[in-house]
Amino acid sequence: MNRKKERKMEDESMGSTHIFMRRLEEICSPERLVSPEVLRSVLELAIEICREGREGRKVGTMFVVGDESRVIDNSRALILDPLQGHPPERKHVDDPNMRETVKELAQLDGAFVVSDQGVVLSAARYIVASQKDFHLPLGLGSRHIAAASITLETDAVAVVVSESSVVRVVDDGQIIAEIIPELWLIQHARSNPRRHHR
């Protein structure tokens, strides 16, 4: 692919990133129990998981952010919850130790439930996909179906890490953003040049 085509793809991705960041502010509100700061932290963590994988292989996982009591009611544990019993202050999504723990646990099946305050409440949750009134592109699997369903059933937002190296944000049963991690990083390097050129 020539440089001109690559640049065009980057520019299109940058535009969608800017649109998504505006949309992020719209979907986050105290009424919906979704914090923009927490959603951004989860999104950054999802992008790290997407880029890094674990032990040399790609990892797919899902985060369900906000409206946690209803999300817990609409899900069940797949295994004994490895996060249960740990104090909330040790489970904040911005804590470096917690981030590494999440990266390890992302290898398990199931979703992470993240509170509006940024506490990772539970891991390896099976999301009950009871809603059917959504339309996803063909080829997306059960993780995306669960994300669409839980975001219709609750006021939560889902962030899905695909093993095909794409991060998707799902709100109200629809994919509202598709993020390619490398292009996201280029965008943020361009918008924060001082941070990246010290």
- Domains parsed from the chain with CATH numbers: 3-192 (3.40.1700.10)
- At residue 178, the pLDDT reads 86
Q: For residue 67, is it left (φ>0), alpha (ψ between -120 and 50) or beta?
A: left
d(C-alpha 164, C-alpha 5), whole Å: 22
- At residue 16, the pLDDT reads 54
- At residue 10, the pLDDT reads 46
Spatial strand order in the sheet of 120-127: 75-77, 120-127, 111-114, 61-65, 157-161, 167-171, 174-179
- At residue 133, the pLDDT reads 72
d(C-alpha 16, C-alpha 28), whole Å: 18
pLDDT digits (tens, 9 = 90+) for 163-183: 888 899 999 888 888 888 777
Q: Above 90 in pLDDT, residue 115?
A: yes
d(C-alpha 14, C-alpha 18), whole Å: 6
Q: Above 70 in pLDDT, residue 193?
A: no
DSSP-derived pairing of the beta strands 167-171 and 120-127: unpaired
Residues forming a β-bridge with 126: 76
